[in-house]
Amino acid sequence: AARPSGKARAMAEAGVLLVEEPAAQALPNTAPPMKMTLSARPSSSGGLGAVGFCTAKYQPHEWHQNNSALYSKAFSGCERAERNRFEAKELAEHATAAAQHAQQHATAALGERLQDIHVWKVKLQKEIEELDAETCLLAAQKRRLERALDAVEFPYAIATDNLRCRERRQHPDLVSDEVERELLKELELIGNIQDLLKRTLMQASNQMRINRDHKEICEMDWSDKVESYSIDDKCERYSNQSTNIQFHPGSVKFEESASTPETWAKFSHDNIYKAEQEKLASINLRALIDNILHDTSEDLKRQCAAVNEAFAKRCEEMDDAKHKLEHYLKKTLKEIGDEETTIAALKQAIKDKEAPMKVAQTRLYDRSFRPNVELCRDEAQFRLINEVEELTESIASLKKKLLESEESLRNLEDTRMNLEREIAVKTNSIFIDKQKCMAHRTRYPTVFKLAGY
């Protein structure tokens, strides 16, 4: 048993006793206390009056043992509490340091990620701008092709018209001469050029579509990176003092569709690489278009000069008989010119009736959608129907007159050929070659227009 402290001995010497019996659970694991028995010694001077106070109580050494046990238990509890406080403080400090370290590493990783995203975003933006600029340049070349193709239509119409006009030559001037051979060469050349320009135009359109597709892919990639940069930038600026942070337990996971850094970088690299390849193809196509337009315009101009030279020689051969045919030529040409003017006027008159016809038919069409009982055969409806019928009759009359005028023109030419065949042959040939063909050929497009400028 532990030795009683000084305070306990003092209490024992003073005869102070515990009033209440200590709790059983506070005692150490010792044998239960023994009850005191009545002493057999002779009573003191107090006599039998003190016998009633000698009841069953704990022994003094048991009392000291109980106190010592309490002291020991309190001391052990204090030691454990102090050790727990120390360990708790160390654990909290370690957890705080670990959390700060982990947050710093995560912030640094987000910063590096932002730099990576920024680098690829700049590359994508540059590629988008370059591809867009290249597409605009290719579009300009495409417009040149379209203008050149439109311009080539006019030489084709001139050559076709020349051949058709020269088919109206009469015997014995209806010969397959050098002019006709050069005109056929010109038509063949124009047909080949048209085919080439159409193929090139289709190729340019396809290349522009491919450029736009790759530009759209790069723009989508760039847009995703802009959004990702905004998200990561917001995440990097989060701190423990932020007011818009909260718990998201379900966010601690990897998405099944998530990419790896390698596949992420490869995706943008492949997009840029493909865009670069298509940009190079577009540059090469533009150079090819330049060469094609230059070569075709030069070829057409050379052939045009050859045809004009053949026409000049042919006309020179037929000028000797011109003075014998002037009187008949003037009269015949005047009638032909008037008839052609009449035909043009009739065609214009027919064309002028199209707008009134559209108005009347559109009115009837719109009025057919009147609801229910409003779909009435009123005076306006009958008047509109009459208007359409009148216009139809008028157009039919004009067309009939147009046919008559055209027939009259053909009759004039037939009459002229029948009455003055031998004289009119030379006149007709000179007129066709000089007044029709060569005059028409003066409107031949320039080299710059044929080149698409």
What number of other Cβ atoms are within 10 A of residue 371's Cβ?
Answer: 6
Q: Is the dihedral of CA 70, 72, 77, 79 positive or negative?
A: positive
Class for domain 104-239+261-314, per CATH?
A: mainly alpha
pLDDT of residue 126: 95
Q: Identify whether the C-beta of residue 424 lies closer than 8 Å to the C-beta of residue 325.
A: yes
pLDDT of residue 32: 45
DSSP string, 229-295: HHHHHHHHT--TT-SS----GGGSS--TTPPPHHHHHHHHHHHHHHHHHHHHHHHHHHHHHHHHHHH
Q: Which residue, among 129, 120, 131, has the nearest Cα to 277 in the 3D structure?
A: 131
Give the whole-angstrom CA distance, residue 22 versus residue 67: 10
pLDDT of residue 91: 93
Give the whole-angstrom CA distance, residue 180 versus residue 188: 12
Q: Which two tokens stand for residue 36?
A: 């005191």
- Peptide bond just before 172 cis, omega within 30 deg: yes
pLDDT of residue 236: 87
Q: What angle do CA 59, 60, 61 make, to 5 degrees?
A: 95
Print pLDDT tens along the chain (453 aa). 344 444 444 444 434 333 334 444 444 444 444 444 444 444 444 445 555 555 567 888 888 999 999 999 999 999 999 999 999 999 999 999 999 999 899 899 999 999 999 999 999 999 999 999 999 999 999 999 999 999 999 999 999 999 998 888 878 878 888 999 999 999 999 999 999 999 999 999 999 999 999 999 999 999 999 999 999 999 888 888 888 888 888 777 777 778 888 999 999 999 999 999 999 999 999 999 999 999 999 999 999 999 999 999 888 888 876 676 666 666 766 777 888 888 899 989 988 888 988 998 898 888 888 888 888 888 888 898 998 899 999 999 999 989 998 888 887 777 666 656 777 677 778 888 888 888 888 888 888 888 888
Torsion angle defined by CA atoms of residues 209, 214, 217 and 221, in that order, rounded to the nearest 10 degrees: -150
Give the whole-angstrom CA distance, residue 434 versus residue 387: 47
Torsion angle defined by CA atoms of residues 67, 72, 73 and 75, in that order, rounded to the nearest 10 degrees: 120
Domain positions in the chain are 104-239+261-314, 328-368+375-450
233 Cβ partners below 8 Å, 6+ apart? 114
Give the whole-angstrom CA distance, residue 415 versus residue 413: 5
Give the whole-angstrom CA distance, residue 319 versus residue 179: 16
What's 435's DSSP letter? I
pLDDT of residue 57: 75
Give the whole-angstrom CA distance, residue 350 versus residue 147: 31
User: Whats the size of the chain, residue-wise?
Assistant: 453
Give the whole-angstrom CA distance, residue 260 versus residue 124: 19
